[in-house]
Amino acid sequence: MKYYIIAGEASGDLHGSNLIKALKRQDSHADIRCWGGDLMQQAGGTLAKHYKELAFMGFLEVLLNLNAIFKNIKFCKQDIAAFNPDAIIFIDYSGFNLRIAKWAKEHNFLTNYYISPQIWASREGRIEKIKATVDYMYVILPFEKEFYEKKHNYPVNFVGHPLLDAIANRPDLNEQTFKSTNGIDPNKPIIALLPGSRKQEVQKMLTLMLSLADDFADHEFVIAGAPSLDKEFYMPFLTNANVKFIQNKTYDLLSIATAAIVTSGTATLETALFKVPQVVCYKANWISYQIAKRIITLEYISLVNLIMQKEVVKELIQDDFTKQNLKKELTLILNGEARAKQLAAYDELITKLGGSGASDLAASLIIENAKTS
Q: Write out pLDDT tens, residues 47-92.
A: 999 998 775 555 555 555 667 778 899 999 999 999 999 999 999 9
pLDDT exceeds cutoff 90 at 318: no
Is the predicted pLDDT of residue 100 greater than 90, yes or no?
Answer: yes
Q: Where does the chain have alpha helices with state H?
A: 10-26, 38-42, 59-64, 66-83, 94-106, 127-133, 142-146, 152, 162-168, 175-181, 199-210, 231-234, 250-256, 266-273, 286-295, 303-308, 323-334, 337-352, 358-372
189 and 85: one domain?
no
Check whether 289 has a pLDDT greater than 50. Answer: no
Same domain, 152 and 178: no
Domain shared by 361 and 343, yes or no: no
Same domain, 218 and 187: yes
What's the sign of the alpha-carbon dihedral 350, 355, 359, 363?
A: negative
Based on the fold, state whether residues 16 and 152 are members of the same structural domain.
yes
243 and 340 fall within a common domain:
yes
Q: How many Å apart are CA 169 and CA 194, to the nearest integer?
A: 22
Find the domain containing 174 and state its range. Answer: 168-352
Mean pLDDT (whole number) for 347-372: 93
DSSP code for 160: -
Between residues 320 and 53, which one has the greater pLDDT? Answer: 320
Give residues with Cβ within 8 angstroms of 14, minimum separation 6.
39, 162, 166
Q: How confident is the model over 345-366, as a mean pLDDT?
A: 93
Q: How confident is residue 197, by pLDDT bands cut at 50, 70 and 90?
A: confident
For the chain, give the mean pLDDT.
Answer: 91
Res 293: pLDDT: 52
Q: How many domains does the chain have?
A: 2
Contact 49, 16 (CB under 8 A): no
- The pLDDT, as a whole number, for residue 319 is 87
Interval 294-321 mean pLDDT: 85
Task: State whether 195 and 330 are in the same domain.
Answer: yes
For residues 180 and 328, membership in a common domain is answered with yes
Q: Say which residues have a Cβ less than 8 Å from residue 176's Cβ, sequence separation at least 6.
A: 186
Find the CATH number of the domain harbouring 57. Answer: 3.40.50.2000
Does the pLDDT of residue 266 top 90, yes or no? no
Amino acid at 95: G
